Chain A
Amino acid sequence: MAVQENRILYRHIDIPDWNASIECYEADGGYQVLKDALKRDRQELCDEVLKSGIKGRGGAGFPMGMKWKFLDRKSGKPIYLVCNADESEPGTCVDREIIYKDPHQLIEGIMCAAFAINARQAFIYIRGEYINGYRILVEAVKEARAKGYVGENVCGSGYSCDINITRGAGCYICGEETGLISSLAGKRAYPRIKPPYFPAVMGLYDCPTVVNNVKSLCYVPYIFKIGGEAVSKIGVPNDPGTYVWGVSGQVQKPGRYEIESGACTLGEMLYDVCGGPFAGRTFKAVIPGGSSMKILKWGEKFDIKQPDGSIKELRVEDIPLSAPSLMSCGTALGSAGIIVMDNTVDMVEAMANLNAFYAHESCGQCTPCREGSLWISKITKRICSGGGRLEDPELLMSLADNVCGHTICAHGEGMAWPVQSNVAKFKDEYVAKISRQLAGEGEARLDKNSYRLI
């Protein structure tokens, strides 16, 4: 069966004659959902989101309706809505298309969500590298304000909410919601410990705050339009909706594909949608959900417990692409950024590349993460430059194990999970590489013609 895309969030992306102007968006029925929503009851709107069961699209996969439900509405403090457009997980680049090509979809989503949670000020925190994205959003907010969709007395409803756009400045940790909140407050982007700093209770300026990803917010008008129950029926029951998969790395047709959850398997995605590996090569490993998720080894098999209690064997290429099935295979869907590596890739180098990223991006607050990420990075770099020691794989494992669970935010796990899975699944490659080095073969790269990864 051929894999079908179901474009909900990407319905306007790359269609003929589409542009980012408000006229174009309105001509397609844009902002009608907002107008209708403004006449509805807030609780009813929040219930629709809860009913939809849509999980946050940023990476953690926390149900959006629950996030809204936890909001402290009794404190009397102002409520803030923050759109997390800091997309910086390696392998993840799908929000970019919405921001650059369909900004009004995002603005309508923000206004719908802001009204539902009764926020009077919304923020978009966009990563610093998206300079034109920032300019496009500024322009779009200006257009929307002129037409009365943003600002004072939205569409004559008496409800007012403005949108501020703030640029980041090159920090991955700003994508972590409490780190983002610190940055937006004008500080170093240090994540804050939960409890007590649950954003829903003590977020921006210690006020109740909802932080949602771009795609999550774009889902809001769609939920309001067709109803939470209808959305809950798209895809698999416990992970409804579509995911926009960003497939990068060594496949014939890398790209962004919006597919219902569970509607295709990893193999169908890589072979049918993305055209398979480069000529003469074979797949070796896949990171399924942005670089922080555990790596899958091609050829791997999993024992999956069935509802009736029996065990069924599942090959890696047969894993359905949905949050629960990836979870049952020991990894996670994360931000739906798939990075594909083929047989020419030296897994130690790939690991060293990611380790350098996590060492660079650790905010430095927690000792296990700050020291651990740098130590791990130095070890893998040393192996790549020819100085491997046979005890290195164990040392890497023990370091990663000691970071997990001992940090304020999930950067610790995001750094440790790839190490744990990479070393466990490709230990032979580590040992072979180090043994060759000890035998005097220098760097002993797996394929000396392949691109250096570190």
Chain B
Amino acid sequence: MEISQDLENKADAIIAEYPVKRSAAMMLMHLIQEHFGYFDDDAINYAAKKLGIRPVEVYGMLSFYPMFSDKPRGRIHIKVCRTLSCALAGSIDLANKISELIDCPVNDTKGVYTLEFVECLGNCVKGANVQVNDKLYDGLNPQDAEKFVERLKADDSEGRLNSVSAFERPQGADFNSPEYKG
């Protein structure tokens, strides 16, 4: 696995922000996952080396935090909130319909898609919520599944779902626009 100078620099900058090196683990793991897509042994070893801890300790974090993954995931990562407020708005039926429409089983990866149930997305008053990459779609219900998938495909073909690093401000982003307030 090749480590670019750019990644090295970013990793060092993150570590320098913390009074204790190991404290950078969460942010460093986000960085590494964004870079490699998921954690394979090389990525785990790299994180361990940077943090000065054993690889098994990085693996301990990886297996604990749901947002870190040891498997490659689809380019379009769909997270459907399954917790009560969203479920009352039909999120469980919604996920099953999305699954049929994009031909990807729930909690699995197929083609460009990863579709999974997640716990509370923190926007309960506007259920049902679905997060796709860094974009939040709210106020959905199962009857809208087809419309939602169409919108998703349109957003994808127009580049709005392009995976952008969370560490960067998306180009041309207006944080005051409704798109970023959802």
Contacts and interface: CB of A to CB of B under 8 A. Distances in A.
A418 to B, nearest CB: 10
A19 B122 contact: no
Contact of B23 (A128, A130, A170, A185): A185
A89 B18 contact: no
A169 B175 contact: no
A185 B142 contact: no
A24 B84 CA distance: 37
Contacts of B120: 88-91, 172, 357
A88 B122 contact: yes
A195 interface: no
| Size category of the binding interface on chain A | 35 or more
B22 A451 contact: no
A155 B166 CA distance: 30
Contact of B82 (A188, A345, A353): A353
B164 to A, nearest CB: 9
B32 interface: no
Contact of A93 (B29, B61, B125, B131): B125
| Size category of the binding interface on chain B | 35 or more
A205 B20 CA distance: 8
B60 interface: yes
B88 A249 contact: yes
A246 interface: yes
A304 interface: no
A21 B87 CA distance: 35
A27 to B, nearest CB: 15
A20 B160 CA distance: 22
Interface stretch (B1-9, B62-70, B147-155): B62-70
Contact of B65 (A88, A170, A184, A247): A170
A326 to B, nearest CB: 19
Contacts of B67: 128-129, 168-170
Contact of A451 (B26, B122, B142): B142
Interface in B105-141: 118-127, 131, 134
Given A130-B122, A350-B84, A453-B84, A139 B175 contact: yes
A246 B27 CA distance: 30
Interface stretch (A224-232, A250-258, A385-393): A250-258
B60 A188 contact: yes
A188 B64 contact: yes
A416 interface: no
A197 B176 CA distance: 41
Nearest to B68: A169
Q: With a 10 A CB-CB cut-off, give which of A129, A166, A353, A454 has the most chain B CB atoms.
A: A129
B43 interface: no
A441 to B, nearest CB: 21
